[in-house]
Every structure is written in structure tokens, then in C-alpha cells.
Amino acid sequence: MKKLLVINGCLLVFLMCSALFCDQPPQYDDVPHIEYLRTERNRTVVGNDFVDNIIPVIRFEDGNGDLGLTEESSKTPPYEGENEKNYFISIFIKKNNVFEPLNLAFDFSSRFFPLSPDGRVGPLEGELKFKIAFDERTASRVIKRGDILKFRISIMDRALKVSNTVESEEIPMFVP
């Protein structure tokens, strides 16, 4: 009888330890949360000019994994019109030691594809990269060699919940 109690006790301790060390899915809020990780840069030289491909990298967490839009879904309510984009980026340029909005004729905000394409519902985390090409030959009216840019980024999920806003570090442009 004593031996049976010891075996049952050991089995109980083993099961409790197993339960404690099982992988539990992370618990994230259903509102997306992002943080700025880094900026990657790929450069091409064309004659004496540069084409800087600036790639902001953000980390995301979302509790129900409803991130991303397909081309088709962006044409249906509620995603058409102002909600057709889910990656929002504002670009700022440093003038007299103060960052001010960079006034361009177009908006860099865009759409990223579903990050859980199999339709799985549940916590989702990872990295998002977004490439922006700046060609010194065409951008020189608003961005000069040595100018400093900064990005502000947020994302939106399919429930139209907008994440927090993050800001990049200072990014010198067209500098060798």
C-alpha cells in the first residue's frame, strides 16, 4: 500500500511538472501592438546618384490573428475606400533640428497580405517589412543628399482596430 502511494505521489508530481512546462499560447490583446525594430537599407548606385531602398522593420502581436487584407477583400465593405489600407506610414524630414511632415504628391501607406492565410484564429506575432524606394534623381526636389528622415507607422486589423504608433530612428538619405 505504501509503495502504491509513493508511485501515485511521484506520478502526480510528474503530471504537475509536465503541465507547468507545456507550451502555452501567448496572450495578446485583440488590438494589434507593434514596436519598431530596425531600419534596413539596400542601395543601388546609378551614375553619381543613389537609389535608397529603405525598409522599416516592425514587430507585431495580435490576439486573434486578424491581420492583413487580400486584394479582393479591399473591394468589399468595410474595407473599401478609406479602410482599404492597413499599413500606415507618415514620413518626416528634419528641418532646423525639427521634424516636419514630408509633403509628397502621394501617400506611402499601403496594404499587407493576410498574415494567417489559412484563416486560423489565435495569437499571432512576427515581423513586417515594408520597402520604400527613394531615387535621388527624382526625389531631389524634396529630399537632398544628407537630409534626415523619420517614419511613424501603425497598422490596422480586419476588425478596423488600429495599433499603437511607433517611430523610427533618424535615417540619413543618399549618404555614401
Per-residue confidence (pLDDT) for residue 5, from 0 to 100: 44
Which range, 24-28, 31-35, 42-46, is most confident? 31-35
Which regions of the chain does DSSP assign to beta strands (E)? Answer: 33-46, 49-62, 87-95, 98-101, 124-129, 132-135, 148-155, 166-167, 171-172
Q: Is the pLDDT of residue 20 over 60?
A: no
pTM over 0.85: no
C-alpha cell at 25: 499560447
- Residue range 142-164, pLDDT digits in tens: 999 999 999 999 999 999 999 99
62: phi then psi, degrees, rounded to nearest 5: -150, 130
Collect all residues with Cβ–Cβ distance below 8 Å to 88 and sequence separation of at least 6: 109, 153, 154, 155, 156, 162
Domain boundaries, the chain: 25-172
Mean pLDDT in residue range 129-135: 94
Q: Domain spanning 25-172 has what CATH number?
A: 2.60.40
Tell me what pLDDT residue 21 has: 53
pLDDT at 41: 95
* Averaged confidence pLDDT in the chain: 87
Question: How far is 143 from 174, CA to CA, in rounded Å?
Answer: 9
**pLDDT for residue 82 is more than 90:** no
Share of the chain above pLDDT 90, in %: 64
The pLDDT of residue 1: 52
- Residue 4 CB partners (closer than 8 Å, separation 6+): none
Q: Which of 10-14, 18-22, 91-95, 107-111 has the highest mean pLDDT?
A: 91-95
